[in-house]
């Protein structure tokens, strides 16, 4: 079904930080309402050159009870190495896999490996809850370099032994052209689709000129849900308008807010 387009946000500029390389679904949806979108900062990903940490866990892979993989690049890095290292390997019956994100699931299917759990919610608490009892279990996390420490801490508090390997590295770029765009377009609001997008923005914020930092600290702030809002408050964003935890809900909240202006 084609996206519905209208001009409800015509002439309004909204800053929408991406949550990963090439990932800005929120910006795409807002453009359907004729909003001018500034996607800032630029997120660049690269696969680790050193495979030594991955080799160490693949050599003892049968000792794990859960493998949790977050994101397509991490899945490709892990499963490609697993195939090169072990050939036609099959996970033992006791080893379960969790794939975070639909693209992650697709990579598992491409390599013909099973996915035992596909979580609906991607917060650390929901991921930990979805696994259930983990006491005395060995859990392997394969995640991007920018991942929060909350999930491994939760799992360890629940009694698990956690190993972690970086599946791809994230670099944040702030170019002169980005600064000029922020100066020229003067966004009226900033919208965070998830905590990751917010953390990327915070890491880039300090690299902006002070006058731009001040200007951006005075505009409206939208968060997709309570978890993102909590991270926003932790980084001194206030007040924050909070949606229902979905991207669609965030778009609706932004539309209503601008219609009331």
Across the chain, which has 261 residues, the per-10-residue mean pLDDT values are: 69 93 88 95 88 96 97 94 96 97 95 95 90 97 90 97 94 93 96 92 94 94 94 90 95 94 71
Q: What is the pLDDT of residue 3?
A: 55
Q: What is the pLDDT of residue 225?
A: 94
Return the DSSP state at 68. Answer: E
C-alpha–C-alpha distance, residues 213 and 229, integer Å: 20
Q: How many CB atoms lie within 10 A of CB 143?
A: 20
Which pair of structure tokens corresponds to residue 127?
A: 């991921």
Q: What is the pLDDT of residue 86?
A: 96
Q: What is the pLDDT of residue 218?
A: 92
Q: What is the pLDDT of residue 2?
A: 47
Which pair of structure tokens corresponds to residue 35?
A: 């909003």
pTM over 0.75: no
Residue 93 zone, left/alpha/beta (φ > 0; ψ -120 to 50; rest):
alpha
Instruction: Catalogue all structural domains in the chain, each as residue range(s) with its CATH number.
Output: 13-41+174-259 (3.40.50.10090), 52-171 (3.40.50.10090)
- Residue that the structure tokens 């980084």 belong to: 235
| Residue 25 near residue 193, CB atoms below 8 Å | yes
> Of 200, 259, 251, which is closest to residue 224 (Cα–Cα)?
251
C-alpha–C-alpha distance, residues 45 and 51, integer Å: 16
| Residue 70 near residue 143, CB atoms below 8 Å | yes
């Amino acid at each position: 079904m084609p996206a519905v387009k209208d001009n409800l946000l015509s002439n309004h500029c909204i800053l929408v930080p991406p949550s990963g390389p090439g990932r800005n679904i929120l910006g795409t949806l807002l453009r359907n309402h004729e909003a001018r979108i500034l996607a800032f900062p630029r997120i660049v990903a690269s696969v680790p050159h050193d495979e030594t940490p991955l080799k160490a866990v693949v050599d003892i892979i049968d000792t794990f009870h859960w493998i949790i993989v977050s994101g397509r690049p991490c899945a490709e890095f892990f499963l490609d190495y697993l195939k090169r290292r072990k050939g036609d390997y099959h996970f033992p019956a006791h080893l379960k896999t969790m794939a975070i994100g639909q693209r992650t699931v697709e990579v598992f299917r491409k390599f013909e490996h099973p996915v035992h759990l596909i979580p609906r919610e991607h917060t650390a608490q929901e991921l930990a809850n979805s696994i259930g009892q983990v006491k005395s279990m060995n859990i392997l996390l394969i995640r991007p370099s920018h991942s929060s420490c909350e999930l491994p801490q939760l799992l360890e508090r629940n009694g698990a032994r956690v190993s972690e390997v970086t599946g791809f590295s994230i670099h944040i770029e702030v170019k002169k052209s980005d600064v000029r765009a922020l100066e020229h377009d003067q966004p009226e609001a900033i919208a965070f689709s998830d905590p990751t997008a917010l953390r990327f923005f915070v890491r880039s914020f300090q690299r902006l000129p002070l006058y731009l930092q001040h200007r951006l600290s005075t505009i409206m702030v939208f968060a997709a849900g309570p978890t993102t809002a909590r991270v926003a408050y932790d980084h001194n964003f206030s007040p924050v308008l909070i949606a229902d935890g979905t991207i669609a809900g965030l778009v609706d909240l932004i539309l209503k807010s601008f219609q009331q202006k």
